Amino acid sequence: MSPTHVLARILLSLQLLAVLTTAHAKEAAPVPALPKGVLVLTPSPAPDFNLKNLDGKSFSLKANRGHWVFVHFWASWCGPCRKELPAIQKMIKAMRNTSLKIMLVNTAETEDTVFNFFGKLELELDTLLDQDGQVTEQWKPRGLPVTVMVDPKGYKRYMIIGGRPWDSKPYLDFLHRLIDTKAKQTP
């Protein structure tokens, strides 16, 4: 085969490869970017807990299997938490007709402290009380506030560190994408 024929075949192969690559790229769904501050975790089992809310009703993480769970650790003395909680309240209203489960966990404060704090900020949130801080210690958040997204199989999948505008479009879209997809295969 002459060098001209070899070159012609290489060029034809490259053109075919370019056409196939372009066609595949158009068919493939784009992977959406994660909102600012969302970290992808190596899947690991989420520690179960059983905590009471301000009304004394018990809630456990394990009871929410089969759903994505938004587990949010916060404290009244935390400046970013104070700023973020009104956005979480709006996000809860926006997500109320979805399967997302939301568990706010107050870290190491008394019922009176939390109740007074909610009254000052005029918040209507349901929070769980980790009065001795043991659940928070078990989850090892890297500061406050921190949110961990737990998949329907009970694995930690995402960690969001710091206060976030949870009622904004990028974060609401992120939450909707999670609940609209099945959890990936876990270890």
CB 71 within 8 A of CB 154: no
pLDDT digits (tens, 9 = 90+) for 72-83: 999 999 999 999
- Please state which CATH number belongs to domain 31-180: 3.40.30.10
pTM of the model: 0.81
Q: Per the structure block, which two tokens stand in for 167?
A: 């009622």
pLDDT digits (tens, 9 = 90+) for 146-187: 999 999 999 999 999 999 999 999 999 999 999 988 655 444
- 165 in the Ramachandran plot: left (φ > 0), alpha (ψ -120 to 50) or beta? beta
Q: What are the sequence ranges of the domains in the chain?
A: 1-29, 31-180
Residue type, 50: N
Across the beta sheet with 50-53, the strand order is: 38-45, 155-161, 146-150, 69-74, 101-107, 127-130, 50-53, 58-60
pLDDT digits (tens, 9 = 90+) for 54-64: 999 999 999 99
**How many whole angstroms separate alpha carbon 187 and alpha carbon 183?**
12
